[in-house]
Amino acid sequence: MKQSMTVESPLLKVSGESPLLKVDDLTVGFADRRGFLLAANRVSFSVPKDHTLGVVGESGCGKSVTLRSLLGLVPYPGEVIAGSIMWMGRDLRTLSKKELERIRGKDISMIFQDPTSCLNPVFSVGDQITEMLRMKLHMSRQKAFNRAVELLDRVGIPSPKQRLADYPHQLSGGMRQRVMIAIAIASQPKLLLADEPTTALDVTIQDQILSLLAEIREETGMSMILVSHDVGVVAQNADEVAVMYAGWLVERGAAREVLHGPRHPYTQGLLNAIPKIDQVGQRNPLVPIQGQPPNLANLPQGCPFQPRCPFVNERCYSVLMELDRQEPEHGSTCPFMDGEGA
């Protein structure tokens, strides 16, 4: 991991300006006997080089599905039904399985919330790291072994040589997540997709893992999409924040801008609902968002947040505003929050 991105890739022949990943109008649908729902609805964003995009939202808002759809990993019966996923000038949606396989785990890696279920319990940690190195990077057995030791050392696992023989159940949750990260960064990916990587971990271990990821990003210039329900985690690790609600991307912008001056009532509600540790002892009641998140199979008319929104007006029942692309710095789907339209 010492040298920066020097991996030769056939895809690397694009102009330096264009973002690594550009997603436009990505729509993911799930259909079953009971009906049809859209888990992600015309989601657009882009990730430049050396950049971290944080995606926040509550359970069922479509943040994980969006992330998985990038690599064609939407679970059955889900399907990407519209949109484009431009990765360095090529649309990942049009690639064959084989071509996608070449990018997956090599140029784009992914880590998940639960490292226990992502590691194979019957293979040693060493087998699982070297498998990756031998398959994707075609290393020899010996070379892969040496590299695996280096990688475990890099992710902060003490006495890495001995640990290679361990099986996942012999490691703690934090150590397993480190192994997952070692596998993910083995091929020096340009983009890491992290789906709630620290949600199952204790706060001090979460802190260690996030510091490790930040170090690796600094060394390699790797970009990251960090999906989390924890606004604090995203605030401290992302350059840009996207907020999702009921399958829609409702607000997007520079992390500081969005989290300190939200322009969508949902983002504002979310921020107000979080208990603040620095307000200890003040005992003010929290300001929750009223009501429940909507059922995706039966979304309300117009803006999906309209039934819970304190700024609602008659236009919200009919039209859903587009995310303002005129303001790349900070866009929101809600034009009414500043009190202008209301």
Partner 1 sequence: MKSGKGSPLLEVRDLSKYFFTKRTVLKSIRGKPQPRLVALDGVSMTLNRNETLGLVGESGSGKSTTARCIVRLHEPDKGSVLFEGRDVLSAGAEEIRKIRREMQLIYQDPYTSLNPRLTVRAAISEPARVHRLVDHAGESDLVEELLLRVSLPVTVADLRPRALSGGQRQRVAIARALSLRPKVIIADEAVSALDVSIQAQMLNLFDELCKGLGLGMIFIAHQLSVIAHISQRVAIMYLGRIVETGPTPEVFLRPRHPYTDALLKAHPTIESQRNRTPALSGEIPSPYAIPRGCRFNTRCRYTENRCFSEDPPPVEVSPGHYSWCHVLPEFSSGMVTKKTG
Please provide residue 241's backbone torsions phi and psi, each rounded to the nearest 5 degrees.
-125, 135
- Specify the amino acid at residue 17: E
| Part in contact with partner 1 (CB under 8 A); list of ranges 69-77, 100-108, 284-292, 317-325 | 284-292
d(C-alpha 77, C-alpha 69), whole Å: 12
d(C-alpha 177, C-alpha 112), whole Å: 9
Contact 330, 257 (CB under 8 A): yes
Nearest-approach distance from CB 250 to partner 1, in angstroms? 14
* Residue 170 near partner 1 by CB under 8 A: no
Q: In what order do the strands lie in the sheet with 78-87?
A: 35-47, 21-32, 78-87, 90-91
| Part in contact with partner 1 (CB under 8 A); list of ranges 19-27, 88-96, 106-114, 287-295 | 287-295
| Part in contact with partner 1 (CB under 8 A); list of ranges 74-82, 122-130, 179-187, 231-239 | 231-239
| Part in contact with partner 1 (CB under 8 A); list of ranges 40-48, 92-100, 206-214, 321-329 | 206-214
* Residue 293 near partner 1 by CB under 8 A: yes
d(C-alpha 157, C-alpha 142), whole Å: 20
Q: Tokens 């690796």 belong to which residue? A: 216
- Specify the amino acid at residue 257: E
| Part in contact with partner 1 (CB under 8 A); list of ranges 12-20, 138-146, 207-215, 322-330 | 207-215
Q: In what order do the strands lie in the sheet with 330-332?
A: 108-111, 191-195, 223-228, 52-56, 240-245, 248-254, 330-332
Nearest-approach distance from CB 279 to partner 1, in angstroms? 7
Pick 47 or 289: Cβ nearer partner 1: 289
**Size, binding site for partner 1 by CB under 8 A:** 46
Q: Tokens 């939200």 belong to which residue? A: 262
* Residue 210 near partner 1 by CB under 8 A: yes
Q: Which of 65, 71, 78 lies closest to 31, judged by CA? A: 78
Pick 12 or 297: Cβ nearer partner 1: 297
What is the sign, positive or negative, of the torsion defined by CA atoms of 12, 18, 20, 22? negative
For partner 1, the binding residue among 16, 75, 281, 339 (CB under 8 A) is 281
* Residue 292 near partner 1 by CB under 8 A: yes
- Letters for 296-335 (x = contact with partner 1 by CB under 8 A, - = none) are ----------------------------------------
Q: Residue 308 corresponds to which tokens in the numbers above? A: 């819970």
Pick 122 or 280: Cβ nearer partner 1: 280
Task: List, in order, residues 6 or more apart from 321 with CB less than 8 Å away.
Answer: 303, 333, 334, 335
- Letters for 240-279 (x = contact with partner 1 by CB under 8 A, - = none) are -------------------xx--------xxxxxxxxxxx
For partner 1, the binding residue among 50, 230, 239, 324 (CB under 8 A) is 230
Task: Tell me the longest C-alpha to C-alpha distance in the chain.
Answer: 68
Pick 23 or 210: Cβ nearer partner 1: 210
* Residue 59 near partner 1 by CB under 8 A: yes
Nearest-approach distance from CB 148 to partner 1, in angstroms? 22
d(C-alpha 191, C-alpha 146), whole Å: 24
* Residue 237 near partner 1 by CB under 8 A: yes
Q: Which of 158, 153, 132, 130 lies closest to 143, judged by CA? A: 130
Would you tell me which residues interact with partner 1 (CB under 8 A)?
58-59, 172, 174-175, 202-208, 210-211, 214, 229-233, 235-237, 259-260, 269-281, 283, 285-289, 292-293
